[in-house]
Structure 1
């Protein structure tokens, strides 16, 4: 039995100690926002935070996470509790295309901004280098990070809210 703290909640899982953290998050805890991309820590789709630092969950044995604080994409913001500023900037900057890499990209961006609230382009490029976006949204990713770093308030278009306004006003 391995005890984990994920997104502030304690969990006990009965898995082999060498099971990749990614599979425990997805299969045992039902946290499917963290994606499998390559299985060799090269694409960044599986990025989560361990004690505030980004790491690749696909190659991290679950035993290495015992006693640590793990944060997944579900733990940084959601529709019910409010989105993280990086998530808001992603939406406003139209970063998502296929969306597959987004959780890893966002987790890396959040870690960067927590460590360095005003990164240069070179620092952004360095921090994000391990995250592959097959849609090629790198310039939008950089701009979204710079938007958050600037302190700009970001609001994204919410089609449901706009539709409700049309019904009540129109």
Structure 2
């Protein structure tokens, strides 16, 4: 019996040793990693940014909240970082800078004065949503509501009036100084 136990232990040890040796040999083989071009990195970064926003909306919904609630949370968090902007032009410039991370993004000033600016930007993010208008359980309507509420709350924090509406594949926005 003692001999059988010894043989069994030796066999099990040999099998385990052999498997770990094979695993080590496989780990030492050189594996190639994908090297993205600058364009591919930009596309990937933009996609990840949108997916994180979509995930945030989904997280809010999973807790019984809405895209609006999520946008208000983001505005409370980030609006202080926009302080120092004293004119509508400054908020437009900040929105333009932030939105440039999206490939295919376009923004155009429609009307401008000392106290107000009206501009439009395309819905370049629209391609993130399938034919059914959904991405990871979030609708494009919810995503756009989040953008609208977020920017509106930041504008209010800065002392501006903010109006945003859809016009086909364009968001049309007016930011104006509040009458004092």
TM category (shorter chain) comes to under 0.3
Using structure 1 for the length normalisation, give the TM-score.
0.24
> Which is greater in Rg?
2
Structure that is richer in helix per residue: 2
Using structure 2 for the length normalisation, give the TM-score.
0.23
